[in-house]
Structure 1
Amino acid sequence: TITRETVKKINYIAFKVQDFGVGIPKNKMKEIFEPFNQGNIIDNSKLKGTGLGLTISKTYSELLGGYIHVKSKEGLGSTFTSYILQDYYREKGKSEEYKIVEIPQISPFPQKGKILIIDDDINFLDLIDRRLSKEGYLVFTANNGKSGLNKANKLVPDIIILDIVMPDMDGWTVYKKLKRTPLLAQIPVIIVTIGDYEKMAKDFGVVDFLAKPIKWKTLNVILSKYKIIGKSKHILVIDDDSATRIILRKMLVKDGWRVDEAENGKVALDRIKKEKPELILLDLLMPVMDGFKFLKVIKGKDSLIDIPIIVITSKDLTADDYSYLTANVDRVIQKGDYTRKEIINRIDVAVKESNLKMYLKGS
C-alpha cells in the first residue's frame, strides 16, 4: 500500500510504501541502500531487479532536503517512508539565489544509437565518452577486453570502437570473439589504436581503422555512414493470436517502432538469436512454449536478462502468478484493458528505465 500525508510539526510531506513480504533483518538495513545490492534477503535467483531502486529513491529524497526511514520485521513486511521537506529552498526573511544545474537526460531511445568503447586508456575513454555523448550517442565504456565482451553481450550495441594494444586480452582476440558470436557478429567494429596496424586490420576484415590521436571529423564521417538512427526501436511481439499481433503492430508502427512477431516462445527465441529487441510484448497462454517458460529461458541468460518485458494477457492471474511476474517483468496489462496512448506510454517508460539502468551499470 502507498499513502501520502503532511507532517505539519516538522514541515515534511511523508510518502509511505508498505508491503507484507519477507521483511529485512536488522543487520541488512544499511546494505539495502547500497548500489546493486539487494541485501541477500531471499533467494537472489528469484529476485531479478538491478538493486538500484532504493539507492535512487534515497538520492532523490536527499536532493529534496529529506531522507528515507525504514521499519521492518522479519516475516511481517516493511514500511519505507520518504520524508520530503515542503519548503526546502525557502527561508524566512532571506532571498535565495538558485543555482541552475544541468541534469543529463537519458531519452527512451538514443538519438544516434548505442556505442561501446573498449580501450585500456582511461583518459581516452573519458574524452571520447564526453564527445560522443554530446553528439547524441548513448555511450558505454570498458577498460579491458574481458569486460568489453561481457558488456557487448549484455548491451548488443549498434557500434563498437575497439583498441588493439591492451593487456591480458588484446583487441584482435576481442575482435575474433565478437565475430564468432552470432548475436554480435554483424555489429560494425571501428579499430582506434596507437601504432601501424592498418594492414593487419584489413587482413582481419576490419573496414574502418583510425590511428591515435584521432581526428574527430574523420570519426564522425565513419560513424555517419552507419545509419543507426532509429535502429534501436525494435520490438518483439509474442502472441499466438494473430489478430492481437496485427492490432499491436499497427499501434507500434505508427509510433515509429520496427516490429517483429512470434506466435510462441520457441519461435521468439529463434528471432532473438538473430537480433536482440529493445523491448518484448509477451502473452502468457500459448502453445509449444508459453510465456512463463519463455521468461524462465530469458532470465537465465545474462545477455538477455535486461530486456524490458511487458506482459499483455487474458489469463486470470493467481497470487503466485503475480508474485512471479512482479519479480521478472516490467509491467502486466490485461488484454483489452488499454488504449493506444496508454500502451505507448508504458513502453516508453519501460525502455527509458532500461536505458537508465544500463547507463548506471555500464558506464
Structure 2
Amino acid sequence: QKNLEKMVEAKTKELRETNEQLERANRAKDVFLANMSHELRTPMNAIIGYSEMLEEEAVDEGQEDFVPDLKKIQTAGRHLLGLINDILDISKIEAGKMEIYLEDFEPKPLVEEVLGTIQPLIEKNQNHLEVSISDQLGTMRGDVKKIRQTLFNLLSNASKFTEKGTIRFEARKREGDYYAEFVVSDTGIGMTPEQMAKLFQPFAQAEAKIGSKYEGTGLGLAICKKFCEMMGGTIEVESEAGEGSTFRVVLPIHGVITDSETTRTPGRRAKTESKNIDGRKILVIDDDPAVTDLMSRYLEREGYNVRVAYTGKEGLELAREERPDVITLDVLMPEMDGWTVLDALKKDPSLSEVPVIMLTFLDDQQKGFSLGASDFLRKPVRRETVVYLLQKHLRSGSEGPILIVDDEPDIRDILTRVLEEEGYRTAVAANGKEAIERMTQEKPGLVLLDILMPEMDGFEVVERIQKHPEWKSIPVIIMTALDLTEADRQRLNGYVEKILEKETFNPDHLLAEISNRIGHAESERSEKGEEASGQNPAS
C-alpha cells in the first residue's frame, strides 16, 4: 500500500513538473513570436519609410528618374512585410492566440477603401473591375481589420491570377437580414477539383509552378478562412480550370458572440477640416532612429513643429517641458514602454488632455483605448496616415505641442518632420517616463504614444494621463506594432481615441486625426468655458 502511494505521489510530481515545463515552453514561444514580430517588422519600417521620403524628395528636386526604382523598393518591402505578417498570423492562429475584436461599422466605406487600395494591382494585369454594393447592407458588427484583410486577399488573388480579364466584386445581404455576402469572381486561370481540395491548407499552393510564378507563402486563404470561422462565417469557392473562380465570404451581420469579444465603444470620429496648423507641436516618442527620422520628415514637411524623445522617460520629460499638441508614442521601448508612458501621461493633470497616438507593430488597440490613447498607428508608418491623424486631433489655436512618445529614434524623427512640415509644434519622448516628465513641463495638445518602451510603457502612460485632472482630456493616439491581447485592449478601453498600426502607417491619416482630435478637445473646452461663464452671474 505504501509503495503504491509513493508511486502515485512520484507520478503526480512528475506530471506536475511536465506541465510546468510545457507552460514555460508555451510562454517562451509567445515571447519568441512577439519578439520576432517586432524585430522583423522594425527594419521594414525604415526601408519603406525612407524610400517614400526619397521618392517625394526626388519629385520635389526634379529627379524623377529615381522614382521607379524607389517605388520598386517600397513594393518589395511591403511584399516582404506581407509575408512576415502571414507567417506570424498563422502561428498565432495555430497557437490559439489570435483574438477577434468586434465593433459596429459601415461595410460600404470599408469596401470602397479596399477597392481603392487594390485598384493599381488590378490595372497592373490590364483587368477590368466591376463593382456592385447593395444599399441595404446597413451597419454590421465584426472585426474590421480581419474583414479588410480577407477582402483584400481575395481581390489580390483575383488580380494576380487574371490577365486582361474581368474581376467582379459584389456586397449584399444574404438569407434575410442575418448575413452579409461578399463575392469576388474573376475570369482568370481557375482551378481543378484537386487544386481546390487543398486550397485552404496552410503553406499549400495549387501547384509549385504557380507558386513560383505568382509568389506568396500559400497562407493567405488559410488565414482568411480561419478569420471568417472565428467571426461565425464561412468562405465558399467555385472554380473551373481555364474559366475563372468565385469566392464568397459569408458573415453574420450582427456579429458572433465569442469569449474574445470586446466591449469597447469606438471613440468619436471628428470630421477632418482644412489644414491650418500654425506651428502645432508634435512630440514623437520612439527608440527607433529610423522611425523618428521618418516621422519628423513627414510632420515637418506638413508644417508641424516636431520634438523627439527616444525613451519613455525622455518623452514624459519633453511632454511636461514642451506641452505638445499631440504625442505619438511607440509601444516597444526599453526601460519604459509605451503603455507606461501612456499611463503616466493620462495621470498627469497637466498632460491628461493631450491626444496620444500609439505607434506599434502590435494589435494592442483595445489596451491603448482603455488607457486613454486617442489613436493608434501601425508600423511601418505611412505619411498619409500620420497627416490624417494629426489633422483629426489637432486644429488651429490648440494649446500645447504634439507629444511623440516612442523609443524608436527613426519613428520620432519621421513623425517630427511630418508634423513640423504641417506647421505643428512638437515635442518628443523616447519612453513613458520621459513623456510624463515632458507633459509636466508643458501640457501637450495631443499625444502620439507607443506601447512597448523602457522604464514606463504606453499602458502606464495612459493610466497616468487619465488619473491627472489636467491631462485626462488630452487626446491620445496609440502607435503600436504589437498584437494586442484582449487584456491589453481592456486596459486602453475608453481612454484613447485611435490605435494606429505601424505597419500601415500613413502620414496623411495621422495629420488628419491630430487636427480633428485637437479641434474636438478645443470644442469641449470652449463649451465648458461658456457653461462656466453662464453660471457666474448666478453664483
Which one has the bigger helix percentage?
Answer: 2
Q: Same fold (TM over 0.5)?
A: no
TM-score (norm 2): 0.27
